[in-house]
Structure 1
Amino acid sequence: MTEFQKLLQDSMIWAEGLAALISVIYYNRSNKEGYWKYFSIYLIIMFLSELMGKWGDLVIDYNKQKFYNFFVIPLEFLFFYWLYAAKSLGKPKLFYAMSLLYLLSFVSSEFFFITKKIILSFNYTVGCLLLMVLVIMEYYKQINSSEILNFSRNKMFYINLGVTLFYIGTLPFWTFFNLIKEYRELHDIYFSYFLMSGIIMYLLFSISFIWGKQSSSSY
């Protein structure tokens, strides 16, 4: 990892912390439905998880690969399935169906794929593809909404944009990681994008609580 990438990695962690802090401050403003507090809790858990991933081995002995593969990453996908499908799109059955498909991917991974990686490529690919479907559905909903001109006050606009840049944008990187890592220059460029898009995503999450607070009652 280059010095620039180390700087980006640390910046991404603190961007998560900033998003978690801002969410605690702003989530209850005009929050008539109340469930945005779960987004705040999610951001706090993600920040603490990244602190654990970065410095946890200095305190306790644990398996970092399993921590990410079986806790952090599944929590990310399952939370966004819930936020998109069950809440924003109002399709709870879609949330259950996608969650089941994603969890079933772990069964296939155990039998057919090598699992000694920091990220299980097959599971991440399945998770991202399912999330991509929800992202497209959310874009379609926003474009066809009567509130399209007030998109700057729409929490999900910022969240959807951040998810697009980070999860969808880095899908090829993790899907073809074993191939990409053989080409050092390409790997470094894409890994840098992964870190930068993560920073931007969490900044967009922060903005969603600040600028999007007025429209939270509509989700």
Structure 2
Amino acid sequence: MTDFQKILQDSMIWAEGIAALISVIYYNRNNKERYWRYFSVYLIIMFLSEAIGKWGDLIMDYNKQNFYNYFVIPLEFLFFYWLYAVKSLGKPKLFYAMSLVYLLSFVSSEFFFTTKKIILSYNYTVGCLILMVLVVMEYYKQINSSEILNFSRNKMFYINLGVTLFYIGTLPFWTFFNLIRQYRELHDIYFSYFLLSGIIMYLLFSISFIWGKQSSS
């Protein structure tokens, strides 16, 4: 990891912390949609999880790969499936169907793919492809909404943009990680993008809470 990537990695963790802090400050102000408190809880859990991933081995012995593969990453996908399908699109059955497909991917992964990886490429690919469907549906909803001119006050606009840049933008990197890692320059460029897009995503999450507060005042 280069010095620049180390700076980006540390900055990404603190960007998560800033997003979590801002969400706690803003979510309850003139906000009639109380389910955003769960987004705040999610951001807090993600920040604590990344802190454990960064410094946890200094105070306890744990399997970092299993921690990310079977807790952090599944929680990320399942939360966004819920936020998009249930709360934004109003399709709870879609949430259950997509969640089931994603969870079943772990079964096939155990039989056909190696589990000794920092990130399970197969499960991550399936999770991202499902999330991509929801992202496209959300864009379609926003474009066809009567509030399209007020998109800058729409929380989901910022969330959707952040998810697009980070999860969808880095899908090829993790899907073809074993191939990309053989080309050092390409790997470094894409890994830097992964970290930078993560920072931008959490900053967009922060903005979503700030604008949400302003639009309802």
Q: TM-score range by the shorter chain?
A: over 0.9
The residue aligned with 1:65 is 65
The residue aligned with 1:18 is 18
The residue aligned with 1:51 is 51
Secondary structure of 1:193's match?
helix
The residue aligned with 1:41 is 41
The residue aligned with 2:27 is 27
The residue aligned with 2:81 is 81
CA positional deviation for 1:98: 0.3
Question: Is the contact made by 1:19 and 1:203 (CA closer than 8 Å) also made in structure 2?
Answer: yes
CA–CA separation in structure 1 for the residues paired with 2:33 and 2:206: 19
Letter in 2 for 1:173: F
Runs of 4+ off more than 6 Å: none
Letter in 1 for 2:186: L
Secondary structure of 1:145's match?
coil
The residue aligned with 2:139 is 139
CA positional deviation for 1:113: 0.3
Secondary structure of 1:31's match?
coil
Question: Is the contact made by 1:155 and 1:213 (CA closer than 8 Å) also made in structure 2?
Answer: no
Question: Is the contact made by 1:152 and 1:212 (CA closer than 8 Å) also made in structure 2?
Answer: no
Question: Is the contact made by 1:155 and 1:215 (CA closer than 8 Å) also made in structure 2?
Answer: no
CA–CA separation in structure 2 for the residues paired with 1:212 and 1:180: 39
Secondary structure of 1:166's match?
helix
Q: Is 18-27 or 28-37 further displaced after alignment? A: 28-37
CA positional deviation for 1:213: 2.7
CA–CA separation in structure 1 for the residues paired with 2:84 and 2:166: 16
CA–CA separation in structure 2 for the residues paired with 1:81 and 1:73: 12
CA–CA separation in structure 2 for the residues paired with 1:10 and 1:92: 36
Q: Cα RMSD over matched residues?
A: 1.1
CA positional deviation for 1:33: 2.6
The residue aligned with 1:96 is 96
Write the deviation string for residues 49-81 of structure 1: whole angstroms up to 9, x where unpaired: 000000000000000000000000000000000
CA–CA separation in structure 1 for the residues paired with 2:192 and 2:127: 22
Write the deviation string for residues 84-120 of structure 1: whole angstroms up to 9, x where unpaired: 0000000000000000000000000000001100000
The residue aligned with 1:208 is 208
Write the deviation string for residues 132-157 of structure 1: whole angstroms up to 9, x where unpaired: 00000000000000000000100000
CA–CA separation in structure 1 for the residues paired with 2:203 and 2:54: 20
CA–CA separation in structure 2 for the residues paired with 1:115 and 1:86: 31
Write the deviation string for residues 167-217 of structure 1: whole angstroms up to 9, x where unpaired: 00000000000000000000000000000000000000000000123557x
The residue aligned with 1:174 is 174
Letter in 2 for 1:96: Y
Count of residues in correspondence between the two structures: 217
Q: Structure 1: where are the runs of 5+ without partners?
A: none
Identity %: 90
Is residue 119 from structure 1 mapped to residue 123 from structure 2 by the alignment? no
Letter in 2 for 1:162: G
CA–CA separation in structure 1 for the residues paired with 2:133 and 2:73: 18
Q: Structure 2: where are the runs of 5+ without partners?
A: none
CA–CA separation in structure 2 for the residues paired with 1:85 and 1:189: 33
CA–CA separation in structure 1 for the residues paired with 2:161 and 2:212: 13
Secondary structure of 1:201's match?
helix
